[in-house]
A and B are shown apart, each in its own frame.
Chain A
């Protein structure tokens, strides 16, 4: 097994890699506009445990603890971590769906208090409106943002809609869908197609921030790989700030320019997740084919951090449970 000794081995190439990546991001920096900046200041989340036997009164469970991050405009940030480490919670807070118990989140300088159109959103499931055709889904954003519910009765609406439709067809083509797909309903599309449309739908709004919650996790490996390539090319063109939540390390390395690993600091309820690793990656993305052994070492390195304290605690049972994980990730990693 490589996993045991990966950390010391990976250190040296990683540091070189880090500095190279940092310069690359700085070079890309000035092109992006400041609306895409996300600031996370001392964010913590905890909630009261439901009263049941064996739970003390006012017992609280901490999910996230003192998270501070500054995400520059145009960065592609991948949030990694094990199930239940709070990475999706963090995303929902950037989105405005949930509020931090303490601390503050700002997008483009102003605080996030509710879900609004500053950020686009692509969830894993239910990403499209089932009652609208593909075209309806794509045009919905621009239409509602300009003409709200009664505004649709205004005279300019029809002309505007024609314009938006043209734009939607262009976007659809861009995403690799046929013009004939435009009048299908989401349930007639495959999972991969649905996610393509969902990305297109978010892009129609031209927001500077794109939040994706395990967006490709339900797809089969081939579809997943093609969507990863699509997302990368989309990001290279428009350079939005992307925050991408995943549990697949290979996916993270292929997509991101920055990987952030969240891990719990302990197993007790009062120990929340903290940033265990914050690492810059080369802007060109990494893959097993392109980077070979370095890629594998990096996967092991990152997974060591996402396991947090638990792996260091000599727990044979846990070690055994984790063992099959490592090869699974590198084969499951599609960008080969």
Chain B
């Protein structure tokens, strides 16, 4: 009895919970949240059957149907009555928003590549370090969102201001992070490469860059969230499409039935990108440990 009590003690660091119980426990808070939601929804619907703040299952299903199979309100496209599900899905609100947000996201991601290359040079070539490091350090401290008005004035309120916001927001941190990784590569490796008759670019790209690439990808994985954050900030303030634009619009008429699926969809997308980067990293760099 005493052993059971001690092994069930939640504050026992040396406890060995049984596997099944641990699995069940990991689901606990999901269940609690869903239960609370359903309870709130049911009680609010008893008072007001039209309640929109905590939509019930039927309302949510309708919201999901509207976002996945209906075109957006502002679109001119009207699906033919006999249009197939795929046809409807292709022109749906969520697909349109995902594509326009995704485009911004991936263009920004592509623009981070030169930033990483610059960081490699800053960390490795003393002249680059002398020229850029202090500037980047300064730039890193500027709150990117405070630049948003300037970006709107410079780039206009269309695509490029939002992409610029993401890049400006994430690039300095990435650069400093990668610079540190490059500096952490043991000097022995660089010296060894030079004794093997490598030239400067061999050392930079075929020795150092190859070694830090898995860490760079991991750093990028951590930066996915800030990137998404800047994208959403830009889209909520000035956009005519995009995932965050839709969420902001729906707020105006309390469209929780659409907002909730959108929030979960964004989380799922982010999870997918993160997972694919992780798998890519493991495939490309079998030698990399933790």
Contacts and interface: CB of A to CB of B under 8 A. Distances in A.
A97 B187 CA distance: 9
Contacts of B210: 129, 131
A131 B212 CA distance: 10
A115 interface: yes
Given A97-B191, A185-B286, A187-B289, A126 B186 contact: yes
Contact of B195 (A125, A129, A205): A205
A130 B287 CA distance: 7
Given A130-B211, A185-B286, A187-B289, A123 B196 contact: no
Contact of B188 (A116, A126, A149, A185): A126
Interface in A72-95: 95
Interface string A104-126: 00000000001111011101011
Contact of B198 (A114, A119, A144): A144
A127 interface: yes
Interface string A260-296: 0000000000000000000000000000000000000
B188 A115 contact: no
A149 B193 CA distance: 13
A129 B187 CA distance: 12
Contact of B285 (A95, A114, A131, A141): A131
Interface string A33-63: 0000000000000000000000000000000
B265 interface: no
Nearest to A145: B197
A121 B191 contact: yes
B206 A125 contact: no
Given A129-B211, A130-B211, A144-B206, A117 B196 contact: yes
Given A144-B202, A148-B202, A116 B287 contact: no
Nearest to A204: B196
A174 B40 CA distance: 76
B188 A120 contact: no
Contact of A95 (B195, B287, B288): B195
B195 A131 contact: no
A125 B186 contact: yes
B197 A205 contact: yes
B124 to A, nearest CB: 14
B207 interface: yes
B114 to A, nearest CB: 18
> Interface range on chain B: under 10, 10 to 19, 20 to 34, or 35 or more?
20 to 34
A186 B194 CA distance: 20
B198 to A, nearest CB: 5
A117 B154 CA distance: 51
A185 B287 contact: yes
Contacts of A127: 188, 192
Nearest to A150: B201
A207 to B, nearest CB: 8
A303 to B, nearest CB: 29
Contacts of A116: 194-195, 197
A144 B191 contact: no
A201 B196 CA distance: 9
> Interface range on chain A: under 10, 10 to 19, 20 to 34, or 35 or more?
20 to 34
Nearest to B201: A149
A115 B202 contact: no
Interface string B279-290: 000000111110
A121 B187 CA distance: 12
A242 interface: no
* Interface-centre pick from B191, B210, B286 (highest chain A CB count, 10 A): B191
Nearest to B198: A144
Nearest to B289: A187
B192 A121 contact: yes
Contacts of B287: 130-132, 185-187
A292 B24 CA distance: 71
Interface in B189-230: 189, 191-199, 201-202, 205-207, 210-211
A140 interface: yes
A131 B208 CA distance: 10
Contact of B211 (A97, A131, A140, A187): A131
A125 B191 CA distance: 12
Contact of B201 (A130, A148, A201): A148
B208 to A, nearest CB: 10
Contacts of B198: 144-145, 148
Contacts of A149: 199, 201-202, 205-206
Contacts of B192: 121, 123, 126-127, 129
Contacts of A97: 187, 191
Contacts of B207: 129
A117 B194 contact: yes
Given A126-B186, A148-B202, A117 B197 contact: yes
Given A129-B189, A129-B211, A120 B195 contact: yes
Nearest to B192: A121
Contacts of A186: 287
* Interface-centre pick from B188, B189, B191, B196 (highest chain A CB count, 10 A): B196
B199 A140 contact: no
Contacts of B199: 144, 148-149
A130 B289 CA distance: 10
Nearest to B195: A121
Contact of A141 (B188, B197, B206): B197
B187 to A, nearest CB: 7
A168 interface: no
8 contacts: A117-B194, A126-B189, A131-B211, A131-B287, A140-B196, A148-B199, A149-B202, A207-B195
- State the 7 A-B residue pairs at the shortest beta-carbon distance, nearest first: A145-B197, A117-B197, A141-B196, A115-B194, A126-B186, A126-B188, A185-B287
